[in-house]
A and B are shown apart, each in its own frame.
Chain A
Amino acid sequence: GAGVSQSPSNKVTEKGKDVELRCDPISGHTALYWYRQRLGQGLEFLIYFQGNSAPDKSGLPSDRFSAERTGESVSTLTIQRTQQEDSAVYLCASSLGYQALRRPTYNEQFFGPGTRLTVL
Protein backbone atom coordinates (compact mmCIF):
# COMPACT_ATOMS: atom_id res chain seq x y z
CA GLY A 1 0.00 0.00 0.00
CA ALA A 2 0.89 3.65 -0.08
CA GLY A 3 1.56 3.98 3.62
CA VAL A 4 2.08 2.04 6.83
CA SER A 5 -1.06 0.22 7.88
CA GLN A 6 -1.94 -1.25 11.25
CA SER A 7 -4.68 -3.52 12.44
CA PRO A 8 -6.88 -3.57 14.32
CA SER A 9 -7.44 0.15 14.76
CA ASN A 10 -9.03 -0.47 18.14
CA LYS A 11 -8.81 -3.44 20.48
CA VAL A 12 -10.64 -3.88 23.76
CA THR A 13 -9.64 -6.90 25.79
CA GLU A 14 -9.98 -8.29 29.27
CA LYS A 15 -7.11 -8.39 31.69
CA GLY A 16 -5.15 -11.60 31.33
CA LYS A 17 -5.95 -12.19 27.66
CA ASP A 18 -3.34 -12.25 24.89
CA VAL A 19 -3.47 -9.77 22.01
CA GLU A 20 -1.75 -9.54 18.63
CA LEU A 21 -1.19 -6.27 16.84
CA ARG A 22 -0.23 -6.18 13.20
CA CYS A 23 1.84 -3.76 11.14
CA ASP A 24 2.28 -3.65 7.36
CA PRO A 25 5.21 -1.40 6.44
CA ILE A 26 5.66 0.61 3.28
CA SER A 27 6.73 -1.68 0.45
CA GLY A 28 10.52 -1.69 0.11
CA HIS A 29 11.18 -0.46 3.63
CA THR A 30 13.57 -2.81 5.40
CA ALA A 31 13.42 -1.19 8.84
CA LEU A 32 10.38 -1.39 11.10
CA TYR A 33 9.77 0.11 14.52
CA TRP A 34 7.22 -0.33 17.30
CA TYR A 35 6.39 2.41 19.81
CA ARG A 36 3.95 2.81 22.65
CA GLN A 37 2.19 6.06 23.47
CA ARG A 38 0.27 6.37 26.69
CA LEU A 39 -2.45 9.01 26.94
CA GLY A 40 -0.96 12.49 26.90
CA GLN A 41 2.59 11.18 26.76
CA GLY A 42 5.39 11.03 24.23
CA LEU A 43 6.42 7.96 22.26
CA GLU A 44 8.24 5.14 23.97
CA PHE A 45 10.51 2.99 21.78
CA LEU A 46 9.77 -0.74 22.05
CA ILE A 47 11.69 -2.62 19.35
CA TYR A 48 13.35 -2.16 15.97
CA PHE A 49 13.70 -4.62 13.09
CA GLN A 50 16.21 -4.47 10.28
CA GLY A 51 14.92 -7.11 7.90
CA ASN A 52 13.90 -10.06 10.03
CA SER A 53 16.32 -9.45 12.85
CA ALA A 54 15.78 -7.27 15.88
CA PRO A 55 19.14 -5.71 16.88
CA ASP A 56 17.57 -3.84 19.76
CA LYS A 57 14.84 -5.26 21.97
CA SER A 58 15.76 -3.20 25.00
CA GLY A 59 12.56 -1.18 24.93
CA LEU A 60 10.22 -4.12 25.45
CA PRO A 61 8.69 -3.47 28.89
CA SER A 62 8.56 -7.08 30.08
CA ASP A 63 8.76 -10.68 28.91
CA ARG A 64 5.02 -10.52 28.24
CA PHE A 65 5.87 -8.48 25.14
CA SER A 66 7.31 -10.07 22.01
CA ALA A 67 7.50 -9.18 18.35
CA GLU A 68 8.36 -10.93 15.14
CA ARG A 69 8.70 -10.03 11.52
CA THR A 70 8.41 -12.29 8.49
CA GLY A 71 10.49 -11.44 5.45
CA GLU A 72 10.89 -7.72 5.13
CA SER A 73 7.18 -7.30 5.53
CA VAL A 74 4.53 -7.78 8.16
CA SER A 75 5.33 -7.57 11.85
CA THR A 76 3.23 -8.65 14.80
CA LEU A 77 3.53 -7.38 18.35
CA THR A 78 2.16 -9.84 20.88
CA ILE A 79 1.25 -8.96 24.44
CA GLN A 80 0.57 -11.94 26.67
CA ARG A 81 -1.53 -11.83 29.85
CA THR A 82 -2.46 -8.21 29.29
CA GLN A 83 -2.54 -5.83 32.22
CA GLN A 84 -4.38 -2.55 32.60
CA GLU A 85 -1.10 -0.63 32.37
CA ASP A 86 -0.69 -1.99 28.83
CA SER A 87 -3.54 0.27 27.71
CA ALA A 88 -2.06 2.69 25.18
CA VAL A 89 -1.77 3.43 21.49
CA TYR A 90 0.76 1.17 19.79
CA LEU A 91 2.39 2.83 16.80
CA CYS A 92 4.38 1.24 14.03
CA ALA A 93 6.78 3.02 11.69
CA SER A 94 8.97 1.97 8.79
CA SER A 95 11.96 3.41 6.98
CA LEU A 96 14.31 2.53 4.14
CA GLY A 97 16.87 1.16 6.60
CA TYR A 98 20.43 0.26 5.74
CA GLN A 99 21.78 -0.30 2.29
CA ALA A 100 23.34 -3.66 1.49
CA LEU A 101 26.78 -2.23 2.21
CA ARG A 102 25.60 -1.34 5.75
CA ARG A 103 26.01 2.35 5.24
CA PRO A 104 23.44 4.52 7.00
CA THR A 105 21.01 5.77 4.48
CA TYR A 106 18.32 8.37 4.34
CA ASN A 107 16.27 6.94 7.15
CA GLU A 108 13.11 8.96 7.52
CA GLN A 109 10.45 7.14 9.50
CA PHE A 110 6.82 7.02 8.40
CA PHE A 111 4.13 6.13 10.92
CA GLY A 112 0.96 4.13 10.72
CA PRO A 113 -2.31 5.26 12.32
CA GLY A 114 -1.79 3.13 15.43
CA THR A 115 -3.77 0.54 17.36
CA ARG A 116 -5.59 1.79 20.43
CA LEU A 117 -5.49 -0.98 23.05
CA THR A 118 -7.80 -0.87 26.04
CA VAL A 119 -7.41 -3.48 28.76
CA LEU A 120 -10.41 -3.70 31.05
Chain B
Amino acid sequence: EADIYQTPRYLVIGTGKKITLECSQTMGHDKMYWYQQDPGMELHLIHYSYGVNSTEKGDLSSESTVSRIRTEHFPLTLESARPSHTSQYLCASHGTSGPNEQFFGPGTRLTVL
Protein backbone atom coordinates (compact mmCIF):
# COMPACT_ATOMS: atom_id res chain seq x y z
CA GLU B 1 0.00 0.00 0.00
CA ALA B 2 1.44 3.33 -1.10
CA ASP B 3 1.81 6.10 1.47
CA ILE B 4 0.06 8.81 -0.49
CA TYR B 5 -3.02 10.50 0.87
CA GLN B 6 -5.72 12.70 -0.53
CA THR B 7 -8.36 14.69 1.28
CA PRO B 8 -11.23 15.06 1.07
CA ARG B 9 -12.28 11.83 -0.63
CA TYR B 10 -15.59 13.33 -1.69
CA LEU B 11 -16.60 16.99 -1.99
CA VAL B 12 -19.86 18.56 -3.08
CA ILE B 13 -19.83 22.35 -3.32
CA GLY B 14 -21.65 25.20 -4.97
CA THR B 15 -20.52 27.23 -7.96
CA GLY B 16 -18.10 30.02 -7.22
CA LYS B 17 -16.55 28.51 -4.11
CA LYS B 18 -12.80 28.32 -3.63
CA ILE B 19 -11.53 24.83 -2.88
CA THR B 20 -8.22 23.16 -2.16
CA LEU B 21 -7.62 19.48 -2.69
CA GLU B 22 -4.89 18.11 -0.49
CA CYS B 23 -2.26 15.55 -1.46
CA SER B 24 0.53 14.32 0.79
CA GLN B 25 3.07 11.54 0.55
CA THR B 26 5.46 10.20 3.17
CA MET B 27 7.86 8.44 0.81
CA GLY B 28 10.16 11.41 0.24
CA HIS B 29 9.37 11.42 -3.47
CA ASP B 30 10.42 14.54 -5.31
CA LYS B 31 8.12 14.07 -8.31
CA MET B 32 4.39 14.57 -7.89
CA TYR B 33 1.49 14.72 -10.34
CA TRP B 34 -2.18 15.67 -10.55
CA TYR B 35 -4.49 13.90 -12.97
CA GLN B 36 -8.11 14.59 -13.84
CA GLN B 37 -10.30 11.61 -14.64
CA ASP B 38 -13.97 11.43 -15.54
CA PRO B 39 -15.59 8.21 -14.19
CA GLY B 40 -14.34 5.15 -16.03
CA MET B 41 -12.39 7.26 -18.47
CA GLU B 42 -8.75 8.00 -19.27
CA LEU B 43 -6.44 10.06 -17.10
CA HIS B 44 -5.35 13.54 -18.11
CA LEU B 45 -2.25 15.11 -16.59
CA ILE B 46 -3.05 18.64 -15.41
CA HIS B 47 -0.06 19.55 -13.21
CA TYR B 48 3.27 18.14 -12.14
CA SER B 49 6.22 19.03 -9.97
CA TYR B 50 9.77 17.75 -9.96
CA GLY B 51 10.66 19.25 -6.62
CA VAL B 52 10.11 22.05 -4.14
CA ASN B 53 9.22 25.36 -5.81
CA SER B 54 8.90 23.61 -9.17
CA THR B 55 5.50 23.31 -10.84
CA GLU B 56 4.47 22.82 -14.46
CA LYS B 57 1.23 22.61 -16.36
CA GLY B 58 0.34 19.24 -17.79
CA ASP B 59 -1.07 18.11 -21.09
CA LEU B 60 -4.67 19.11 -20.32
CA SER B 61 -5.39 22.76 -19.73
CA SER B 62 -6.86 23.36 -16.30
CA GLU B 63 -8.08 26.42 -14.42
CA SER B 64 -6.65 24.98 -11.24
CA THR B 65 -3.32 25.97 -9.71
CA VAL B 66 -0.82 24.05 -7.59
CA SER B 67 2.00 24.79 -5.21
CA ARG B 68 4.97 22.82 -3.89
CA ILE B 69 6.36 24.45 -0.79
CA ARG B 70 7.27 21.19 0.92
CA THR B 71 8.42 17.94 -0.64
CA GLU B 72 5.61 15.92 0.86
CA HIS B 73 2.75 18.26 0.05
CA PHE B 74 1.23 19.14 -3.36
CA PRO B 75 -2.15 20.89 -2.99
CA LEU B 76 -4.41 21.81 -5.91
CA THR B 77 -6.62 24.90 -5.74
CA LEU B 78 -9.64 26.05 -7.70
CA GLU B 79 -10.30 29.74 -7.07
CA SER B 80 -13.89 29.63 -8.33
CA ALA B 81 -15.39 26.21 -8.88
CA ARG B 82 -17.76 25.58 -11.77
CA PRO B 83 -19.88 22.57 -12.77
CA SER B 84 -17.37 21.85 -15.55
CA HIS B 85 -14.82 21.09 -12.81
CA THR B 86 -16.86 18.11 -11.67
CA SER B 87 -14.51 15.13 -11.97
CA GLN B 88 -12.21 12.82 -10.06
CA TYR B 89 -8.78 14.20 -9.21
CA LEU B 90 -5.91 11.76 -8.66
CA CYS B 91 -2.56 12.59 -7.13
CA ALA B 92 0.56 10.49 -7.77
CA SER B 93 4.24 10.49 -6.91
CA HIS B 94 7.44 8.64 -7.64
CA GLY B 95 11.06 8.75 -6.57
CA THR B 96 14.05 10.24 -8.27
CA SER B 97 16.16 7.37 -9.46
CA GLY B 98 15.31 4.79 -12.04
CA PRO B 99 12.21 4.05 -14.07
CA ASN B 100 10.01 3.88 -11.03
CA GLU B 101 6.29 3.43 -11.21
CA GLN B 102 4.01 6.16 -9.98
CA PHE B 103 2.12 5.59 -6.76
CA PHE B 104 -1.44 6.91 -6.68
CA GLY B 105 -3.59 8.30 -3.94
CA PRO B 106 -7.24 7.21 -3.55
CA GLY B 107 -8.55 10.26 -5.38
CA THR B 108 -10.96 13.10 -4.63
CA ARG B 109 -14.33 13.01 -6.31
CA LEU B 110 -15.46 16.60 -6.78
CA THR B 111 -19.02 17.62 -7.62
CA VAL B 112 -19.78 21.26 -8.30
CA LEU B 113 -23.46 22.13 -8.30
Answer yes or no: do A and B interact: no
What residues of chain A have their CB less than 8 Å away from a CB belonging to chain B?
Answer: none
